[in-house]
Amino acid sequence: MKAIVLAAGLGKRMKSSLPKVVHKILGKPMVNWVISSIFEAGIKTEDITVVTGYRAELVEELLPEGIKNVRQQEQLGTGHATIQAMETINSDDQILVIPGDVPFIEPETLKMLVRESAEGFEAIVLTMKLDNPAEYGRVIEQNGRIRIIEAKDASPEEKEINEVNTGIYIFDSQFLRDALKKLSPNNAQGEYYLTDVVQFAKKAKRVILNDPQESLGINDRVQLSKAQRVAQQRINHKHMLNGVTIIDPENTYIGPDVIIGKDTIIEPMTFIYGNTTVGERCNIGPFTRVFDSTIQNDVTIVRSEIDRAMVHAHCSIGPFSRLRPGAVLLEEVKIGNFVEVKKSTIGKGSKAQHLSYIGDSEVGENVNVGAGTITCNYDGKKKHRTVIGDGAFIGSNTALVAPVNIGKETVIGAGSVITEDVPDYSLGLGRAKQVNKVDRYRKSEKGE
């Protein structure tokens, strides 16, 4: 089985400078929702072709590695887009054709269509029944043939039909090649409609979708918002049934690829997106954002931002902390309020509790980083590393000017600026001598 994803359109009603399919639902672009369902249906990466068009580079940079893409230079309709894609497909496999803006199509539905295709049909059309079909193409079956009439081309009588096209098909590849050659742009839009291909099939089948929400199309920002709410409800419901406590599901946002362990509690106004894994017995939020990160068991995160970081078990983070890409916290680390960690590893049992920046650093075990400490990692041209040994104590308001090494069990005096390495078991001081100007600021006798 091969798959063609149609993702070339502008999406005029989105009123956006971006292609429609790059707009995100719970942090994941629409087109990638569709591709994930295709993967889960058993179709391999190398067997998927995505047709791009308007601002193609924005769509192409989102595609998983190994997926082919072709560009539709002129926007001449879905039939024309399919012709472009078929030029990359040389096999006689069945062809799944699917729009890039149907994010909720279930893998099981696609698997069912694949099973139906084994019966030798030239065309299988996935349809649905709607009380208000609106702009959807109407589906008509007569004398064993199926026709799809676009809403713009439908007569008043045809518009009364409530069985409509979802835009998802499976075609016999040779039939599709031959049928595409017969297309013409004789319609209201002046485009080559893929829907016209179906009428040429002598052996075709309609498969009616039980849940119309699966093929929910997204054409404007209102529909995008509705889709977000549908996805939010489905995903949160699934996690709660799997043993996750979500205090306020209506104000908790979890992406479709997120994994969360049982007995974890998610507080309100928490956003967990991307390829994130959260372990068991964690407490996340409130007002927390986690993206593309791994959180192990028994971790607490309060009012903080975690971006492409690794947090080992029994850590506590926040409030108002920020872990930037490359941050690694080993077991039992404490990162407190207004602390930022970037591209650094913090060793087991270490603490940075207040107002600190740790960047491009290697911090050993059981280190105490005092309030206001910063690693001065950037000299204006290059980034440099700071290494702090096990058991070191860094006094408050210290500046560690990288590259610099602080020895194990070393103490750095508060207020120091350290520019040179400090050996193990030493006291490092780097501050000016205190000078007292006696009586410089005596108050007047008349009071304050």
The answer to which of 6-20, 145-159, 432-446 has the lowest mean pLDDT is: 432-446
For residue 443, the model assigns a pLDDT of 64
Residue 20 in contact with residue 218, Cβ under 8 Å?
yes
The mean of the pLDDT values for the chain is: 94
Angle in degrees, 0-180, between the axes of helices 173-180 and 78-86, rounded to the nearest 10: 120
Report if pTM > 0.75.
yes
Question: Which residues 6+ apart lie within 8 Å of 2 measured at CB?
Answer: 43, 47, 48, 49, 89, 91, 93, 94, 95, 96, 173
The answer to which of 26-35, 136-145, 231-240, 298-307 has the lowest mean pLDDT is: 136-145
For residue 185, the model assigns a pLDDT of 84
Phi and psi dihedrals of 78, rounded to 5?
-70, -35
For residue 445, the model assigns a pLDDT of 52
For residue 74, the model assigns a pLDDT of 87
pLDDT mean over 251-266: 98
**For residue 448, is pLDDT > 60?**
no
Distance CA 99, CA 34 (A): 8
User: Active-site residues: which are they?
Assistant: 354
Question: Which residues 6+ apart lie within 8 Å of 222 measured at CB?
Answer: none
Q: Convert the pLDDT of each residue in 399-418 to its tens digit.
A: 999 999 999 999 999 999 99
What percent of the chain lies above the pLDDT cut of 90?
A: 82
For residue 446, the model assigns a pLDDT of 52
Q: Is 298 left (phi over 0), alpha (psi -120 to 50) or beta?
A: left
pLDDT mean over 372-391: 96
pLDDT mean over 98-122: 93
pLDDT mean over 329-355: 98
For residue 380, the model assigns a pLDDT of 92
**For residue 48, is pLDDT > 80?**
yes
Burial class (CB in 10 A: 0-12, 13-18, 19+), 413: middle
For residue 433, the model assigns a pLDDT of 87
| Domains along the sequence of the chain with CATH | 2-215 (3.90.550.10), 238-428 (2.160.10.10)
Q: In the numeric block, which tokens belong to residue 277?
A: 């894994």
Q: What share of the chain is helix, strand, coil (3-state, %, to 5)?
A: 20, 30, 50
